[in-house]
Amino acid sequence: TLGAQMAGGFASLKEWIVNLDKDFYQVPFPDGYINEDTSFESFKSALKAKGVTPDMIAAVITEAYQGGIAGFADVEYMQELRQWCTKNKVLLIDDEVQAGFGRTGKMFAIEHYGIEPDIICCGKGISGGLPLSAVLGKSEFMDLYGPNGA
């Protein structure tokens, strides 16, 4: 929960965290409304402004569909993000907790972009309201950990 909260985009929800991890970098979601620039250049510019280079990034965590604003990112942006992650050997992690399992018209919201993430985090819709979550991913990453997370 602590790690997920630190990765989240709302500063007000992090006020209770005593020692925020300085290595979580936030980049504005390219919704075209709150953040008008939907180009992938906005992603690279935001990293550059923070002094962050690709070699400093292990993973990009994104929500393919932003529930709080009921919005999708630009398709080209997400496709360029996938290419950038692959080129720079950065994992692309898709948070489908709110939008997954058919809630956007596809099994996973990320499918609207025609890309495949390395890891998908699921919850809510996976169980019809029961407390259940799952992490799905490519075997090259998931097989690094045993059945008990070791």
Q: Distance between CA 16 and CA 35 in Å, rounded?
A: 27
Provide the whole-model pTM: 0.86
pLDDT value for 38: 81
For the chain, 150 residues long, give each residue's pLDDT as a single digit of tens: 677 777 777 777 777 877 777 777 888 888 778 777 888 899 999 999 999 999 999 999 988 888 777 778 888 999 999 999 999 999 999 988 877 787 888 888 899 999 999 999 888 877 877 888 888 889 888 888 877 666
Domains of the chain: 31-142 (3.40.640.10)
Q: Which residues of 3-30 are buried (b: 16+ CB within 10 A; e: fewer)?
A: eeebbeeeeeeeeeeeeeeeeeeebebb
